[in-house]
Amino acid sequence: MILLATWLVLQTQAKIQLNLDQALDWARDSSATAQLAASREAEARAKESEATSSLLPTLTASATQMLKSYNFLTGGLVFPAFPGFTVPSPIPWYNIQDARLTVQAPLFSAVAWKSLSAAQQGVRAREAEHQAIRDDASLRGGLAWVELSKAQMLERDREEALQLARDLETMADDQKSSGTATGLDVLRAQAQLVTSQRALLQAKLERERASIALARELGLGESDTLMAIGTLPLQAKPLVHTATPATVPRVRAAQENKDAARLEAEASKARFFPTVGVEADYGYSAGVDQFDGGGNWTGQVGVFAEWSLWGGGDESKLAQARQKERQASISYSEARRQAAIDLDEAELVESRSREQIELAGAQAALVDSELVLSRERFHDGGSGNLEVVQAQGDRNVAHASWIEAAGTYAAALVRLRWATGLWDGF
C-alpha cells in the first residue's frame, strides 16, 4: 500500500491509472468512511485505557498554606467553667502549612470491572465495524471502477464505429464517382457519420462522469483524472467458498455490537453494587516558619465503601442500556437475514450474467460478419449502402449490449466478493 500511495502521488499532474485490485485497496484504506471507522476504533481503544485506569491505584500530591481560626461553640465543644479560668470561645487566627501524598486503590468495584469488559468489547466491535466499512468502501470503489472501465470500452468502440462511418462515406463517394452508387447512398453515409459522432460524444461524457464517480469513492478531488487499466474480470472461475452469513464482516460487526450492548447494560446494572477500597495518606504539617523542624509527620489509613442506594439517573441509564441491547439484537438478526439474501442474489446474478456474456458475444460475432458481407456487396456494386448502414447500426447495438453484459458480470463478481467477504480471485 505504501508503494501504491507513493506511485499515485507522483502522478498528481497526470492521469491516475488503476486496475481493479488497486481501486479496491485504495477505496478500502483511503475513503472517508474507512478513515472515520479507523478513528472510531482508536477512540474505543482510548476508552478501554480510561476504563482500565479505574482499577488502578491513584497517587496524588498536595500542598497547602492557610490562615485559619476556630470557634469551639460552633464546633459543638463546651468546656466546664473553673474558678479563675475562662476558656475563650474562638481560637485566634493562626498559620499552617501542610504537604502530603495520598494513595487510593479499589479493592472491589463491580462497576469498574464491568465497565472494563464493556470497553474491551467495544474495541472488538469497532474493529469488526472498521473491517465491515472497509469492505463496503471496496464494494463501492470496485463498482465505480467497473463503470469507468465499461465507459472506456464503450468510448473505444464508438471510436471504431466512427471510423467505420468515415470509411463508408469515403466508399460511397468513390462508388458514386464510378457510377455504381447514387447521391442517396452518399447522404445515408453522411447521416451515419453524424450519428456516430454524436454517439462518441455521449460515450465521452459517460466516461468523464464515471471518472468523477470513481474519484469521489476514492476520496479524491473531482479534478483528478482517473483511467481504468487492465481488463474486466470476464474469465474468472466461479468462486468456491464456504462463506456463511455469520462469517461476513458486517454480520460479525453486528454480533460484536450486540455483545458490546449487553456488557454496557451489565455495567449500568453494576452501579447498584457497592464499591470497596482503601485510602492512605502521609505528610508533614507545621506552622509558618516551622516547616524545617517545628512540624510533625502525620498520616492515616482507612477502608471506604460506597453504595448508591437510590438515584433516579441510574435507573434511567439502565433502562436506556437495555433498550440499546434490544436494538443491537434486532440489528444483528436483520444483518444475518440481509447477508443471506445478498449472498444468494450475488451467486444468482453472477451465474446469469455469465450466460448473458456468452449470448451477447455470439450476437456481436454474427452482426460483425453481417457487416463485413454487406460492405463487400456495396463495394462490389451488388447493392446500395442501406444494408451497410443497417448493419453498422446493428453492430453498434450488439457491441454496446456485449459491453453492458461484461460490466454486469464484472460487477456481479465484485458483489460476490463483498457478499462472501473474500476479496481474492480476480
Out of 112-116, 135-139, 291-295, 361-365, least confident range: 291-295
pLDDT for res 207: 93
145-168: pLDDT as tens digits? 999 999 999 999 999 999 999 998
Task: Indicate if the pLDDT at residue 390 is higher than 70.
Answer: yes
Least confident of 63-67, 186-190, 293-297: 293-297
pLDDT over 70 percentage in the chain: 86
- What distances in angstroms separate CA 102 from CA 139, 219, 283, 295, one per listed residue? 56, 52, 9, 19
Residue 203 has pLDDT above 90, yes or no: yes
pLDDT at site 76: 63
Residue percentage of the chain with pLDDT more than 90: 39
- Label residue 153 exposed, middle or buried (CB < 10 Å: 0-12, 13-18, 19+): buried
Task: Of 84-98, 169-183, 311-325, 332-346, give the lowest mean pLDDT range.
Answer: 84-98
Q: How confident is the model at residue 379 (pLDDT cuts 50, 70, 90)?
A: confident
Dump pLDDT digits (tens) for 239-255.
556 667 778 899 999 99
User: What's the chain's average pLDDT?
Assistant: 84
pLDDT at 5: 47
Do 426 and 377 meet the contact criterion of CB atoms below 8 Å apart? no
Q: Give pLDDT, residue 172.
A: 86
Q: Which three cell numbers stand for residue 223?
A: 479534478
Q: In this predicted structure, what is the pLDDT of residue 11?
A: 46
Q: What is the pLDDT of residue 285?
A: 84
Q: What is the pLDDT of residue 383?
A: 75
- Identify the residue with better confidence: 119 or 422: 119
Name which of 32-36, 46-50, 237-241 the model is least confident about: 237-241
Q: What pLDDT is recorded for position 225?
A: 80
Q: Does 296 have pLDDT greater than 60?
A: yes
Residue 382: pLDDT over 90: no
pLDDT of residue 399: 94
* Mean pLDDT value across residues 17-31: 89
For residue 154, the model assigns a pLDDT of 95
Q: What kind of fold does domain 13-61+107-274+312-420 have according to CATH?
A: Outer membrane efflux proteins (OEP) (1.20.1600)
Please name the residues in contact with 141: beta carbons below 8 A apart, sequence gap of 6 or more.
23, 24, 26, 27, 28, 31, 214, 217, 218
**The predicted structure's pLDDT at residue 425:** 63
For residue 383, count CB atoms less than 10 angstroms from its CB and return exposed for 0-12, middle for 13-18, buried for 19 or more: middle
Residue 184, amino acid = L
Highest mean pLDDT among 55-59, 378-382, 414-418: 414-418
The mean-pLDDT minimum among 102-116, 356-370, 373-387, 410-424 falls in 373-387
In angstroms, the Cα distances linking 351 to 147, 191, 355, 408, 417 are 20, 40, 7, 11, 14
> Above 60 in pLDDT, residue 291?
no
Predicted local confidence at residue 4, as pLDDT: 45
Give tens-digit pLDDT for 204-226: 999 999 999 999 888 887 566 88
What is the reported pLDDT for 135?
A: 92
Mean per-residue pLDDT, 67-78: 69
277 has a pLDDT exceeding 80: yes
Compute the distance between CA of residue 238 and CA of residue 222 in angstroms, rounded to an integer.
35
SS3 at position 82: strand
Q: Which amino acid is at 17?
A: Q
9: confidence class by pLDDT, cuts 50, 70, 90: very low
Distance, in Å, from the CA atom of 400 to the CA atom of 81, rounded to the nearest integer, reads 114
